[in-house]
Structure 1
Amino acid sequence: SYRLESYFFLLDPWRHCTHIDTFNTWIKIAFCMGKEKRWKAIKYLENYYGFKKDEESFIWKSNSPMTKKIKEMQEFLGLEVTGKPDSGTLDLVQKRPDVNVAIKKAFSVWSSVTPLKFITKDRGDADIMISFAAGGNSHSDFLPFDGPGGSVAHAYAPGKDLGGDAHFDKDETWTKSTEGTNLFYMAAHEFGHSLGLFHSKDPNALMYPVYRKFDPSVFPLHQDDIKGIQYLHGNSHESAEIKDPTESKEPALPNTCSPDLTFDAVTTFRGEIMFFKDKQVIREVDFHLVSSFWPWLPSGVDAAYEIPEKDETHLFEGNEFWVVRGDTILPGYPKKLYILGFSKDFAKIDAAFYNRKKGENILLHRGQILEVKFYNQRNESMERKPRLIKDAFPGINGKVDAVFQHENFLYFFHRRKQFEFDFDKKRVTRLLKTNFWFPC
């Protein structure tokens, strides 16, 4: 099931009321609209604005429930709040249901080649919640949009909470043609993520990570997309059983208050601290699959750090690394670790952090500290010979599982403990439990 949240041009309730000042005269909806128009108006406000119909609700006056709901809608849409179906409001609500058509068409792309069936829900929760949000609005996640251009949409892999949801930038010029950004095309791409697909390396595939122009009248799904979706959900001739996306064979969620808690990597990310454990990423007390935020990233993260001034996050897994901005991978990544000066058979690093005071990218491996210089997306190299961790950070001995910087401190994790290292004093100031950051 899916639900399209907070959209407004699906119905056309006030087409014949533009000449009536309904605010100053108590005129019933039935008079200006007729029975069908009245039903549509009531149904629209019921579905999207929680309107409860009763006898008094049908009267237009300053304090009537109907007027209040119109004001609520106008405020949400950024219109002048009058409580009346004025011309500005009519210009919006009279638009044809292009959004609904594009969304349904996007779902049909996937249902045509799988046994999946999609059902629209007018209210309540759904497996795929669809919303449009303007730049600066975090819309229930921590990946706000950036206005026209840039990031236009993102979606989360199947799972609980945000899992499966698709968000679109309200500031984009959405169209049904090749001009602007075609809503159908982007929705079909994002719903691919909602159904569990990663990005494709094939430039002709719908799931290729770069938006491209296409003929909207002819849209054959590429074979790479078909193979991927049918691998996950079967082909259209198989049983139409739809599994609950929350049912999986994933390992049990980590107990953040367990004395045996350990982490694979830790980093800050846009003001939050993110803890990586197996396939999970933990934000304070919320758990999400890593693939919910970065669908193209293999399960598990060995090391991670953020460069706040660039709004970049560096992620390491196995012998590869990625540089991302928000949920978008930068061009040219992933890259192999050997381009930094490691041998080609180098398997993985243990931990990494960004020294904000000196602007240094620091990688840790087997008791050694390695400084790496990222000149740009094409030119990276090891800056100097490896040093011992215990020499650079007195008191930090042995293997480091994860590390991150918070304010003027570094926090080194080793098994069930973490060491707080003061940059200024150049010594360990506290020995803490791994779950120090959680309300246990």
Structure 2
Amino acid sequence: MQLAVLCAVCLLPGSLALPLPPEAGGMSEPQWEQVQSYLKIFYPYDSKTRDANSLRAKLKEMQKFFHLPITGILNSDIIKIIQKPRCGVPDVAEYSLFPNRPKWTSKVVTYRIITYTRDLPRFKVNQLVEKAFAMWSKEIPLQFKKIKTGIADIMIGFARGAHGDGSPFDGPGNILAHAFSPAPRLGGDAHFDEDERWTDGTSIGINFLFAVTHELGHSLGLGHSPDPKAVMYPTYEDRDAKDFKLSQDDIEGIQDLYGKRRD
């Protein structure tokens, strides 16, 4: 009889669920699981750090990056941030794709658009990519040359789900795009999630110019900026397209890598 009662209790849903840790801040279990996944992707553990496996330490790191009160405890401000669409590149400076300040050594960097989105005409995608490159080249002594065939330094394309680089897209929302720092093969390449609705700013959707300018910053060697006004800020913000330009933080970052343009 006692064994039967015990078995019945064990089968009750949630009866043996472990309480959430203090770092959860009283949030729900789905929210806590969501933030753990977010931290794993965008604030990966550094084995050299003493408390590398501490979620509290990772929460503090995220709070510091986004200029939030550093408590190490989950709150509604963090929930709002993780629910925003964003770039798929991690925020931490120790990210493995950006060791030793990689940059292009050639003064002429080639690029090629290998796949297009169905949301925009090809000529419009070409125009916006060219405009994004022009924003960066205005500040540094690099020239960008488009090629139509062969392997370019920076390969640009749209894809869905798994697309051969080990970083699959996740469907509409959340991760919009990602890019790799200067290097052979995948290095410099920029990929955009075709499951998003892409726009040139004349309709509802993700403004492709904003996204491609950001990703090309990664393609040139920049990491994420904690400055909300910067193009290299990790989350997507819908801005006024007429006023869209590199911030002083973006300019100082890219010139720190390549120097100033001298016409």
Length-normalised TM-score, structure 2: 0.55
How far apart are residue 139 of structure 1 and its match? Answer: 2.0
Could you say which structure has the higher helix fraction? 2
The match for 2:112 is 3
CA distance, structure 1, for counterparts of residue 233 and residue 259 of structure 2: 21
2:114 maps to a residue whose letter is E
Tell me if structure 1 keeps the 8 A contact 2:117–2:158: no
User: Pairwise mapping of residues 67-216 of structure 1 onto structure 2 (< 5 A)?
Assistant: 95=121, 97-135=123-161, 138-177=162-201, 179-216=204-241
CA shift at 1:6, angstroms? 2.2
SS in 2 for 1:126: coil
- 1:24 corresponds to which residue? none
Q: How does 1:30-429 map to 2 (within 5 A)?
A: 95=121, 97-135=123-161, 138-177=162-201, 179-237=204-262
CA-based RMSD = 1.9
Gaps of 5+ in 2: 1-109
Q: By percentage of residues, which structure has more strand? A: 1
Report the alpha carbon displacement of residue 148 of structure 1 after superposing the two structures with TM. Answer: 0.8
**Superposed CA offset, 1:237-264 (max 9, x none):** 17xxxxxxxxxxxxxxxxxxxxxxxxxx
Who is 2:82 aligned against?
A: none
Structure 2 CA distance for aligned equivalents of residues 121 and 4 of structure 1: 8
What is the identity, as a one-letter code, of the residue corresponding to 1:222?
S
Within 2, Cα distance between the matches of 1:198 and 1:8? 26
Q: Which one-letter code corresponds to 1:230 in the other structure? A: Q
Q: Assess, with a 3 A threshold, how the Cα gap between structure 1 residues 208 and 8 changes in structure 2: closer, same or farther.
A: closer
Shift of 1:96: 6.0
Tell me the TM-score normalised to structure 1 length.
0.33
The SS at the match of 2:157 is strand
Deviations 1:190-230 (A, max 9, x none): 00000000100111111011111111122231000000000
Structure 1's consecutive aligned runs of 4 or more residues displaced over 3 angstroms after TM superposition are: none
SS in 2 for 1:209: coil
Give 1:101 shift.
Answer: 0.9
Q: Which string of whole-angstrom CA distances, capped at 9 and with x for unpartnered residues, describes residues 172-199 of structure 1? A: 1000117310001000000000000010
The structural deviation recorded for 1:151 is 0.7
- SS of equivalent to 2:175: coil
**CA distance in structure 2 between the aligned counterparts of 1:162 and 1:233, rounded to whole angstroms:** 21
SS at match of 2:156: strand
1:163 maps to amino acid: G
Deviation at 1:140, TM superposition (A): 2.2
Deviation at residue 8 of structure 1 after TM alignment: 7.5
